[in-house]
Amino acid sequence: MNLLRTIQNQFRAALVGLVPDVEPYVAMIKPTQDAKHGDYQANCAMSLAKALGKKPRDIAQDIVKRLDLSDLLEPPEIAGPGFINLRLKSTWLAKQVQAIANDDRLGVALQPAKRYVIDYSSPNVAKPLHVGHLRSTIIGDALTRLLRFLGHTVITDNHLGDWGTQFGILLYGYKNLLDNEAYKKDPVRELARVYIEVRKLIGSDDEDNAANSVADACRAETAKLHHGDPENNRLWREFMPHCLAEIHEVYEKLGILTFDHEHGESFYNPLLPGVVESLLQTKTAEPGEGGAIIVRFSDDNVALVRKRDGAFTYTTSDLATIQYRLNEFAPNAVLYVVDFRQSQHFANLFAAARRWGIAAVELTHISFGSVLNRDGRPISTRKGDGSELIDLINKAVEIGLQKYQESYAERKAQGHDVPDLTEAVQRDIAETVGIGAIKYADLCQNRTSDYKFDYDKMLATEGNTATYMQYAYARNRSILRKENIDPMTLRNNPPSVAIDTPPERALAIQLLRLEESLLAAVAEYQPSAVTAYLWDLAKTYSGFFQNCPVLRAESGALKQSRLLLCDLTARVLQKCLNLLGIKTVDRM
């Protein structure tokens, strides 16, 4: 069920014959901000008038005359200079709502399937995950769920940075600073400690260019690793499972989907010489100074694909990756969820790939902004400021638990009917709430903006937060429980729906907009379209709930109808949250 498309189809038929290409005009139909102007509004008469040299109001009249209203629309109203205000018939809305109640997909159609490869999370391993990795992981996970729900095939690939200079640091640390006992007991912790110690000795965030003997020694270890030194390669194989275990622990805590593949950069290493050869052969690349090989885009924009010393680069490795993915997965699109600082890299990468002959596949960098602390500064990646991701997650859960227990005690003291919950169940709830809060706070931003990591804001019980949505869901479930209503009967055998009052009407329309919002989210790769929808839905539901008595409705039939609206709202809330990777609980 797609309200917008349904109306657009009706409109398309009315426009055919008026102009040669109707699509741009069909696309001008938008939901209205104010119910005064109907549910949807078309402003195409104004632009059509220009194209046809007629008066906008006359054109609007023409369109309205040609429009088949069927049982979908009330007679349209022409307003102002030629706006066409469209109002859906309540009887039609009621039927649609009843129909989606009986549908597991809540009326969302499967779309023509495409194949996506999505590259997200992709941390550099061998150092602890920090908050910078959060956004890619959360956004990528949400997009994967959304695309899959809409019927697409999504192949997820965690493109681990498992071959970079950080291994030189680890190798140096292992050889010089290791506490053997500690390593035996907890290799992950000990490697993390050693890593941090060596970073301190290097003393700079830029390990590639730092100038001191430790930095030199680390670079030498990396070079040995890349040149096949058996000892370093053996150690690399020994470290990797420990590095992965640490990352997977965070993923598990966050409840993100398991990756289909985790081909790190090391996986592509054997392919790199062949890639450079092919780049030269196809004249994608050219020799640069001192034996380097470059791809030249302009005089001041070149990408290195082989350094003077023969080492390959991030770009080389990413070109090999594209080629591999095309051969292996035959995707329609490859998406990279990576922060905005890599924009230039991806612009160059895609341009090089096109020149290399890679066509007919969408390549998109899904860029995002930084996570800031409460003072508005980017959270530093250095150890010691609590930016280790696992610490941030644990803290959100702790604060979630504290807030939850406060609200629980308060509700109980006020004589509200609160469920009896054991400490363990309360912990589970806190986990759901804390992690949901982190994810929602991230996803509700326009992803290209920066945002502040603020526990109080993300865990607020009022406003556009996961906590608010989770409460709305649980409260809704408790209504049905209290009345001993089995939601399955409302679903399997939906009662007829009454759309008599404005709040019921508004809620019905919101419920029917689910598909529209999911499509908007994937069209722009913007999960915030889903949170915006959730927020609208929650507000509309609250208006409905305040104005339309459910359990004390005037008649049995009306009560059934309103219960169905309640249940459907809960299902849509839950579905949207789940598509964002956020869980719900039935009691709070």
> Counting contacts by CB under 6 A, is residue 442 touching ligand ARG?
no
Give dist(CA 146, CA 144) in Å, integer: 5
Tell me how far apart the alpha carbons of residues 90 and 504 are, in angstroms, rounded to a whole number.
10
The single residue among 127, 145, 159, 199 that binds ligand ARG, judged by CB under 6 A, is 159
Q: Which is nearer to ligand ARG, 314 or 535 (CB)?
A: 314
Neighbours of 520 (CB within 10 A): 17
Q: Which of 266, 279, 273 is nearest to 351 (CA)?
A: 279
Q: Does 124 bind ligand ARG (CB under 6 A)?
A: yes
Distance CA 315, CA 321 (A): 10
Please identify, among the stretches 116-124, 177-185, 393-401, 516-524, the one whose residues bind ligand ARG according to the rule CB under 6 A: 116-124
Cβ-closest residue to ligand ARG? 161
Asked if 119 interacts with ligand ARG (CB under 6 A), we say yes
Between 22 and 338, CB nearer to ligand ARG:
338
Give the residue with the Cβ less far from ligand ARG, 183 or 324: 324
CB nearer to ligand ARG: pick between 123 and 434 = 123
Torsion of CA 472, 474, 477, 483, to 10 degrees: -100
Q: What contacts 17, CB < 8 A, 6 or more positions away?
A: none
Closest CA to 220 of 313, 290, 292, 311: 311
Quickly list H helices, 150-283. Answer: 165-177, 180-185, 187-202, 213-226, 230-254, 265-268, 272-281
Q: Which is nearer to ligand ARG, 125 or 433 (CB)?
A: 125
Phi then psi for 452, rounded to 5 degrees? Answer: -90, 135
Is the Cβ–Cβ distance between 570 and 476 less than 8 Å?
yes
List, in sequence order, the alpha helices (H) in 361-422. Answer: 389-413
Q: Which stretch binds ligand ARG (CB under 6 A): 115-123, 297-305, 467-475, 496-504?
A: 115-123
Per-residue x/- track, 12-51, ligand ARG (CB under 6 A) = ----------------------------------------
Tokens at 159, concatenated: 């493109």
In the complex, minimum distance from the CB of residue 280 to ligand ARG, in angstroms, rounded to a whole number: 22
Residue 35 contacts residue 506 (beta carbons within 8 Å): yes
122 binds ligand ARG (CB under 6 A): yes
Closer residue to ligand ARG in complex, CB, 63/126: 126
| CB closer to ligand ARG out of 144 and 321 | 321
Q: Is 363 exposed, middle or buried (0-12, 13-18, 19+ CB in 10 A)?
A: middle
* Residues 192-211, mask of contacts with ligand ARG (x by CB under 6 A): --------------------
Q: How far is the CB of 107 from ligand ARG (least distance, A)?
A: 36
Specify the DSSP class assigned to residue 269.
G
> Are 357 and 325 a contacting pair, CB within 8 Å?
no
Nearer to ligand ARG, 119 or 221 (CB): 119
Question: Is 318 a residue that touches ligand ARG (CB under 6 A)?
Answer: yes
Stretch that binds ligand ARG, among 120-128, 214-222, 434-442, 569-577 (CB under 6 A): 120-128
> Element (H or E) spanning 507, and its range?
helix 502-512
Residue 145 DSSP one-character state: H
Looking at the Cβ atoms of 338 and 458, the one nearer to ligand ARG is 338
The residue among 321 and 517 lying less far from ligand ARG, judged by its C-beta, is 321
- Residues 338, 509, 511, 514: which binds ligand ARG (CB under 6 A)? 338
Q: Does 336 bind ligand ARG (CB under 6 A)?
A: yes
Q: Which stretch binds ligand ARG (CB under 6 A): 122-130, 229-237, 293-301, 433-441?
A: 122-130
- Minimum separation from the CB atom of position 153 to ligand ARG (A): 20
Identify the CA nearest to 124 among candidates 91, 160, 87: 160
- The reply to whether 140 sits near ligand ARG by the rule CB under 6 A is no
Applying CB under 6 A, the site for ligand ARG has a residue count of: 10
List contacts with ligand ARG (CB under 6 A): 119, 122-124, 159, 161, 318, 321, 336, 338
